Structure 1
Amino acid sequence: MNIASSSDPKTGVRVWPAHVRALEASGLSRREYCRRQHLSYHALTYWVRKLRQTSGSALPPALVEVPTCSTLLLRRSCPP
């Protein structure tokens, strides 16, 4: 049975994380990985996003330095 067409959600939860890890380790594009593994590109993209959301592996938001009055005083541009 082709996992790309499997309608059993439990099969996906067991099988797709392994494909996502293998994709990352392969260095291939998603399209090329899917072609070589005979997988649905859209299904793999779904699982990449789903697993990224649940694992929290998404990049954290960038931090931005906000000047305070004390740092502005050093530059002599802080209002009195």
Structure 2
Amino acid sequence: MGSSISASAKKRGRPATTGTGHTIGVRMLPEQLRPLDAWIADQPDPKPTRTVAIRKAVDDWLTAQGYVQHREDPEGAN
């Protein structure tokens, strides 16, 4: 009985983070999720996740409000 069966250990816990950003937990109501999910369904494959969709929505809103410069407008005219 010199050999033993090696079983792969299952990784447990949270997955590794993918960036240096901050996690913000947000509770959303069904009437907020329905239009978000509809927007996701209208996107081409691969569909964005809810996280990516929310990140894009916040970025678009902040840009429209003037807090973030338009990517096409590096001089800040808009």
Q: Please indicate, yes or no, whether the TM-score normalized by the shorter chain is above 0.5.
A: no
Determine which structure has the larger helix proportion and give its number: 1
Q: Which of the two has higher C-alpha Rg?
A: 1
Instruction: Give the alignment's TM-score, normalised by structure 1.
Output: 0.26
Instruction: Give the alignment's TM-score, normalised by structure 2.
Output: 0.27
1 or 2 for the larger relative contact order (CA 8 Å, sep ≥6)? 1
